[in-house]
Structure 1
Amino acid sequence: MTPSERAGREIWYKATAGNDRFHTYVFQQRMGVLIDWWRVLRGDKRDERFKIWGLVNNPGCCTPGSEGCPARSYEETFGFDWCHGDDELLRHVGRQGYRDPACDFADAPMPSGHPHAADGLREDSCHLAFGTSTGAMGLRKFPNPRFDADAWRKVNGGKLGTWEGFARRMADQRELSDYQARKLADASVEPPYLIGMACGACHIAFDPANPPADPANPEWNNLVGAIGNQYARMSEIMVSGMSEDSLQWQVFSHTRPGVVDTSAVPTDQVNNPGTMNALINVLQRPRFENELVDRWRPVASCPAGADPRSCWCESGKPGKCWNKSTERETVFHILKGGEDSVGDLLAVQRVYINIGSCSEQCWLNHLTDLYQVDPEQRNFGQTPFDIGQCRRDCPNFRAIEDRAHDVINFLLSKKAYSTPLWKAKGLASLDDWIVDLDRRHGDGTVDRGRVLFAENCARCHSSQQGAVETRDFHRESDVAGVRTDWLGNDQATPASEVGTFGCRALHSNHMKGHVWEEFASETYRAREPDSNLSDQTGGGRGYYRNVSLVDLWAHAPFMHNNAIGPELCGKPSNPDDEFYRSPYVDADGKKLADPPDCFAYDPSVEGRYKLFLASVEQLLNPQQRIPKTTLIDQPIRRAIGPKLWDGEREKLVGIEIEVPAGTPAGLYGSFRHKELLRDMVLSVLDNERLQERMVDRVGPSAANNMANEVSALTKVVLKSPDQVIGIARDRLPLLSELYSTCTSTIENAGHRFGEDLSPGDKQALTAFLSTL
């Protein structure tokens, strides 16, 4: 690896850019969501960590008390694994003065000709904030200087090596007001560690071609850094401190392994989970010319008297300036719908912000507060994140920005090249695998599959130019080990044409006026709406990009939500640690009584191949798919005011509403409750304004009827507020039409291409797909 690639890898694996404060304090205080890091990372469950959470254990960490481990007991490590660098870190728990390992980061030379290449212009590397490993790859810990050992012992039964008391419920009886609260929310008790997250937390995974014999005990050569962890349960991790009958747990924990809704915190109120991108053969990924991009660009100086909102120079760093302008550029289309289309460097930057870096300095004030229902107040809705302001005010932003090119160089390096199945099987060449496939399925099977792929798939899943019939989908490029064809063209396809679960295509955070406005090109936002979708599009929404099929054999199940194919589950030794809930439903949307079993996590070569074959079968035979809709699996109880106490047992007296089990979880993630409340208020105070809003939403012909329906709903609710859920259920079609951002319900629908092929042709196409 080059010095830049090595530097980029270290940042990818370790840098949190200060987001430990977000994951320890800000998330729970601002979002009202608790993370129970002890539950996720406790050292005594290291051997079960992969099965429960899908996390990859750090090979360089050890269990306290085990042979050769520097720590003798969990009392020394506060219940966590012991990891490299902890000899220094543990000395600073409860003390100031910790020197972060990032301070000794070895910077690579800046790119030749870069305007900021002069010595001394980069931000201090300390602000990369590495900390040490928690025991799980990509999750990093930092010593909490505010930790009080005596207070910790008092909460945890006199022990330092457990968090049991800190994680407990404040009351055991459901009727008590503190039943929903946990000690985790008690700001008077500080944990020993602050936990941060690097990019690697979602992307470091087992090498498909060299998986570990025991997934709980991998070696370094079993890991690769960029392909995406298809087993990780990041959504469950983020709500791990919440009760399972809470709204947050039931709504946010329903995503599949390897899938996360990255707009759950910067919420656009669209339930749109997506897979962690598999970054493979990025060197060959298509780029798009002449995109209209308005962004900041590095320059050596600004004109005298320049407006700092369009040209700004960093104080104390002569020659380090930035100019904002609109120009034509060649860029990647990075996210599922082609968002993050203003350059790969800024795409790296946005990910760090999205996982909590600089949250207090420049992110939180742009986010929607779900509890703020007054449209005149701050945080009622989103406002655009300001890159210039964040660069000025947050040193963590500058630390990443000054080294983002190193991260990109790592993602373009050999460490992110393909791992084809024939190599994973230990064969000498692709030809040997083709011979084996033809022996199993008949002579010429793979060649027939190539023809079928060219005829049915290549218009979306090939990056080469020219007639598809003559393309060699396996030809290597001039760069050794990288094939010419990226096996996807990254072009935008209308979501209605693909037909898959549509919510991700409705993601709205990159629209004008929304939080990620500065991370999407004007070309992206100028795309025509998909008029064939029933849900509202426009502003760039309504599309999916045609993704790569490189190493398809290793990345089943399929689609942007991992929904086409068998369901995955960890099957840990304790059933109470299993998060899987069957999403299979009948024709009426009710939970299927006897659903198919889930596939246990199996990262072995044969395990991946078995999952691939089962997933391709469902892909090519959509009529055989059992519908999937994730349902709330237990009632959600929420207390609404006024809150009155009985003065003795702190029993809650007032109104409690219940969301029944069996309700689609996505319904709540995509429901615009603020708009409903606003219209209900207008129905009482300003019916004329309500009529205007309905014209904008449903057109003049239906506006009056819809306004009358909202008025009728308001009257019923005011009369019987304790029946609001039942009232809403009776009017679900109306509420969905007016206030749902996405009405898709079947998660494994669509992508019916190839369904009319004969059984023999489907077998041939499957065989060919296994060679990609």
Structure 2
Amino acid sequence: MKLKKSALALMLTGTGFLGLAGYSSAGSAALFSSNVCKNQQGEIIDEAMCAGRDAASLKGADEDYFKDMDYGITKDPATLAKTLAPFVPGITPEQAVKSVATGRNNWIVWTAGNDRLWDTISYRSVGNLDFLKTLSNHPGLKFSRSNRWNYLGLVNEPCFEKGTGPRKDRYGLWLDVRSTDCPADPFENEEKYPGVKYGARGKNIPAGSYYGYATGIVGLRLFPNPDFDEKAEKAWDPERYYTDPSYYNNKNLVRPYRVGMSCGFCHVGPNPTNPPADPEHPKWENLNSNPGAQYFWIDRIFSWEADPSAFPFQLFATSRPGALDTSLISSDYINNPRTMNAVYNLVPRLLNAKNFGEEKLGGGSLNNRQFNDYVKSGPLTEFYKAPDTVFTPRVLKDGADSVGALGALNRVFINIGLFSEDWLTHFNPLVGGKPITPIPIIKSRKNSVYWQANEAQTPDLALFFVAGTRPDLLKNAPGGDQKITQDAAVLTRGKEVFGERCARCHSSKLPDKAYEFFKGGAVGKDYLKHWGNYWRWTQTDEFKKAIDVIVKKDDFLQDNFLSTDLRVPVTLLETNACSPLATNAIEGNIWNDFSSQSYKNLPSVGKITVHHPMTGKPWEFTAPGGGVGFTRPASLVSVWSTAPFFVNNSLGKFDPSPSVEARMGSFENSITQLLWPEKREGNIQYQTANGKMLPGWIDRTFATSYLRVPAGFLPDWLNKLAGKIDGGKFAGEQGLELGPIPKGTPVNLLTNIDLDRREGFIDRVKHKAELLGLLLKIKHDLKEIPKDATDEQAAAQFKNLVDPLVKASKCPDYIVNRGHYFGTDYFKEANLEPGLSDADKKALIEFLKTF
């Protein structure tokens, strides 16, 4: 019974199912990629430094291989240079093309050594994530290049074809093959970009290029595995790898390749105004680098078997296509899926930061490099003022990235595995359960050659975004102009409504007075006072008259980022609170060095109205301070092409087709649910802040599910013991199974257990005691579920656990599609802002189509 208690306790850590996996893998799984190299001072260094490489030997590639993407921006060097000249005075057309090509290559093919991380995660996830299978075409899989787009939502790379058999040059793996009528991939050039020789790489297996091999999927690159030594090669059986669970579910299996991930994996998508005729077979001109992976099915990718009886699949299924929990690996003990950020109008966004993006740095955040480190004149130098003031766009949904544009870009690379040798020592990956500590920039800069090389490439990446983030306008799409009304009166009314109700959060062009509210000490502990003054002013006739003039100007949409990037308290938005409550960037947490001191000084937004997951009854949850509790408004640039809506894509109908017709269908459905909340999807009724009732959606398990750890991933002693314990039908030779978790269980009841309580010693001790009591109760109640119980019987027994789990939650907010009632009768301040008429809502929709 001791094992059951431990397993159940660990079941509730991190993102739920991975707790037990993390326990079992400690000291046994990830035996290979967990090995690290150290310098003479005993500090962890990365594989490149261990191999004797330096940053200059990992230079950014400058081939303009992707010239057909992004509307062909590099095909007109003179215009490109003119675009960049204000930011890099004197830049020549040739220099402009080289810089933008280097930046784009960084985004699409540079993985910065993170193949090590994803190999480690394949073990830590006990085989749920296996990118080598994701890349494959074996007939035993549910997916291949033939249905990769529709099933996985991944972008097939042009110039590749489906492999119809095992490839001898890839150790028998069923991978895509390069089309014979295409030139060689320039990034595979081993002489120009020699791979990092580390371990068996360069000895038992070729070193390849430090950009890896192309895989046939945009954003994934294949790297020779440095752990694939002679012993591993003799044990490798490619057919069993696809067909035999006892073989591929083994913690000792060493695959011949590791898979690296570039930023493009989550950000390259079909061009909304020039979509591919067949999304399974796009051409480069059908793809853009910036719209985000809006069609990406995280559940099917991160749980490749897609088994509904496995709780991991149930967990990942809460991430709708185009959304994922970016704190999945460095767990914040909250399941909070967020959409892949589209990157539009970077220049207006930077300019907006001068008005609304002031932040004060302190501590480790002062170590972020700024534009001033690269250019000594021009407008880019205006975004940092020594010693501690930075003007920064806020890209993350919660506005936590607040140290400057370059720092925000560098943080992304760490989160996908840069210098994972050190990063993974600051927390327990996937599972959590140990105190999280910050990853220090100064240490990364010293001990990681990949960090140094990446940092050197970041300015070119920024210039690429300056040049390549133009809006995707509906009027430029095939047949798009016919989908926009030609009724001038309707559009005029739409502009008026937008100005009065939307522009205060969704426009970077505002009356001059708007900026006065956020100058001189507006950031930090007094932010809510400044925000409140601004918000109340936007409800006055003075604001409405001034914004009406601005919105009706012919150039209103030109160079308008269509957001303020201000932090809006979730108490006003009434949207799901789990994303704003993310804690990765608070004081002392993993992203401590990538959030400003003013962010860490933000006050509590106060009491958040949440709802019981079974009854819908409202109650108040007090948000902690220190940065959490806010959401920055989404940019509405190209909003017609980005539905479904909300930070988690929970509002509106998803359509897997990237066609203009499909995008417009999703937009119409989503905007209707936004402006008519009573039409939203619901499996529960709940009460809004103004007392009215609405349907809402809670993500629940849609099948009876279990927490399983295959025998091959259990330590030997635990595997033997598992076979002796009663109550587990998936035990002994098969491994370990815990459950059942009844069908209909709110998923976030099991994923949001607060194991990171930091406020007050006495509170922490009390909280741990309550958790222990909860775990004992779970142990008892699950034991009482009859063998072969029906869903109804299991649910009845599990019902007793609901209230204790709600009480223990770090984010007890379960309704994912609630909130943003502006312009409707459900808005909490409807007495000041009555709901719009149907005619006004329809006029607003027509104006939004022009964005």
Q: How many residues align?
A: 623
Question: Whole-Å Cα distance in 1 between the matches of residues 302 and 191 of structure 2?
Answer: 25
Q: 2:498 aligns with which of 453, 461, 465?
A: 453
Task: Determine if the alignment matches structure 1 residue 615 to structure 2 residue 670.
Answer: yes
Alignment of 1:663-702 (within 5 A): 663-672=745-754, 692-693=762-763
Question: Whole-Å Cα distance in 2 between the matches of residues 284 and 190 of structure 1?
Answer: 48
Please report the RMSD computed on the Cα atoms of aligned residues, expressed in angstroms. Answer: 3.8
Question: Whole-Å Cα distance in 1 between the matches of residues 779 and 475 of structure 2?
Answer: 66
Question: Whole-Å Cα distance in 1 between the matches of residues 560 and 231 of structure 2?
Answer: 61
Structure 1 residue 606: deviation in Å? 1.6
- CA distance 1:771–1:191, change in 2 (3 Å): same
Describe the superposition over 1:22-58 as per-residue Cα deviations: whole angstroms up to 9, x where unpaired.
112x113445453233442224621200001101111
Structure 1 residue 547: deviation in Å? 1.7
Question: Whole-Å Cα distance in 1 between the matches of residues 183 and 257 of structure 2?
Answer: 14
Structure 1 residue 419: deviation in Å? 1.2
Q: Counterpart of 1:457 in structure 2: which amino acid?
A: C
Identity %: 31
Task: Determine if the alignment matches structure 1 residue 522 to structure 2 residue 621.
Answer: no
Contact 2:495–2:551 (8 Å) recurs in 1: no
Describe the superposition over 1:526-562 as per-residue Cα deviations: whole angstroms up to 9, x where unpaired.
2221113125331100000012101000000111111
Alignment of 1:96-107 (within 5 A): 99=190, 102-103=193-194
Q: 1:759 aligns with which of 823, 838, 845?
A: 838
Partner of 1:296: 367
Task: Determine if the alignment matches structure 1 residue 261 to structure 2 residue 355.
Answer: no
Structure 1 residue 472: deviation in Å? 3.6
Describe the superposition over 1:583-629 as per-residue Cα deviations: whole angstroms up to 9, x where unpaired.
xxxxxxxxxxxxxxxxx411111211121111111111001112222
Q: Counterpart of 2:439 in structure 1: which amino acid?
A: F
Q: 1:602 aligns with which of 657, 680, 684?
A: 657
Q: Counterpart of 1:293 in structure 2: which amino acid?
A: L
Structure 1 residue 407: deviation in Å? 0.8
Partner of 1:396: 450
Partner of 1:580: none
Question: Whole-Å Cα distance in 2 between the matches of residues 655 and 205 of structure 1?
Answer: 38
Q: Counterpart of 2:360 in structure 1: which amino acid?
A: L
Partner of 1:425: 478
Q: 1:41 aligns with which of 99, 116, 135?
A: 135
Q: 1:468 aligns with which of 544, 547, 558?
A: 547
Describe the superposition over 1:383-419 as per-residue Cα deviations: whole angstroms up to 9, x where unpaired.
1111111111111111101111111111111x21011
Question: Whole-Å Cα distance in 2 between the matches of residues 48 and 541 of structure 1?
Answer: 40
Contact 1:34–1:242 (8 Å) recurs in 2: no
- CA distance 1:292–1:214, change in 2 (3 Å): same
Structure 1 residue 669: deviation in Å? 2.1
Contact 1:100–1:129 (8 Å) recurs in 2: no
SS in 2 for 1:730: helix
Q: Counterpart of 1:446 in structure 2: which amino acid?
A: L
Question: Whole-Å Cα distance in 1 between the matches of residues 466 and 209 of structure 2?
Answer: 21
Describe the superposition over 1:195-226 as per-residue Cα deviations: whole angstroms up to 9, x where unpaired.
11000000000000100110011111000001
Structure 1 residue 456: deviation in Å? 1.1
Q: Counterpart of 2:634 in structure 1: which amino acid?
A: V
Q: Counterpart of 1:337 in structure 2: which amino acid?
A: D
Task: Determine if the alignment matches structure 1 residue 492 to structure 2 residue 561.
Answer: no
Contact 2:369–2:406 (8 Å) recurs in 1: no
Describe the superposition over 1:126-157 as per-residue Cα deviations: whole angstroms up to 9, x where unpaired.
9993112211111111233655899879865x
Alignment of 1:294-693 (within 5 A): 294=362, 295-296=366-367, 327-360=388-421, 362-368=422-428, 380-413=434-467, 415-425=468-478, 437-438=485-486, 444-466=489-511, 467-472=546-551, 475-476=554-555, 483-533=558-608, 534-566=621-653, 568=654, 600-627=655-682, 628-638=697-707, 643-645=721-723, 650=732, 656-672=738-754, 692-693=762-763
Alignment of 1:230-309 (within 5 A): 230-240=294-304, 244-285=308-349, 286-287=352-353, 288=356, 290-294=358-362, 295-296=366-367
Question: Whole-Å Cα distance in 2 between the matches of residues 758 and 74 of structure 1?
Answer: 62
Question: Whole-Å Cα distance in 1 between the matches of residues 701 and 427 of structure 2?
Answer: 26
Describe the superposition over 1:636-691 as per-residue Cα deviations: whole angstroms up to 9, x where unpaired.
334798934369x945799943221211122222123687xx9xxxxxxxxxx99x
Greater shift in the superposed pair: 268-277 or 468-477: 468-477
Contact 1:228–1:276 (8 Å) recurs in 2: yes
Question: Whole-Å Cα distance in 2 between the matches of residues 100 and 27 of structure 1?
Answer: 30
- CA distance 1:513–1:468, change in 2 (3 Å): same
- CA distance 1:409–1:127, change in 2 (3 Å): farther
SS in 1 for 2:510: coil
Question: Whole-Å Cα distance in 1 between the matches of residues 288 and 779 of structure 2?
Answer: 57
SS in 2 for 1:392: helix
Task: Determine if the alignment matches structure 1 residue 15 to structure 2 residue 101.
Answer: no
Question: Whole-Å Cα distance in 2 between the matches of residues 239 and 654 of structure 1?
Answer: 18
- CA distance 1:246–1:7, change in 2 (3 Å): same
Contact 2:225–2:258 (8 Å) recurs in 1: yes
Q: 1:80 aligns with which of 175, 193, 205?
A: 175
Contact 2:607–2:623 (8 Å) recurs in 1: no
**Gapped runs of 5+ residues in structure 1?**
66-71, 93-97, 106-125, 157-162, 171-181, 300-323, 374-379, 569-599, 679-688, 698-705
Contact 2:122–2:130 (8 Å) recurs in 1: no
Q: 2:158 aligns with which of 40, 59, 73?
A: 59
Question: Whole-Å Cα distance in 2 between the matches of residues 130 and 653 of structure 1?
Answer: 38
SS in 1 for 2:568: strand
Structure 1 residue 476: deviation in Å? 4.8
Question: Whole-Å Cα distance in 1 between the matches of residues 493 and 840 of structure 2?
Answer: 8
Question: Whole-Å Cα distance in 2 between the matches of residues 652 and 218 of structure 1?
Answer: 42
Question: Whole-Å Cα distance in 2 between the matches of residues 100 and 615 of structure 1?
Answer: 51
SS in 1 for 2:318: coil
Question: Whole-Å Cα distance in 1 between the matches of residues 803 and 678 of structure 2?
Answer: 27
Structure 1 residue 103: deviation in Å? 4.8
Question: Whole-Å Cα distance in 2 between the matches of residues 349 and 538 of structure 1?
Answer: 26
Alignment of 1:116-127 (within 5 A): none
Contact 1:8–1:408 (8 Å) recurs in 2: yes
Contact 2:298–2:320 (8 Å) recurs in 1: no
With structure 1 as the length reference, what TM-score do the two structures score? 0.73
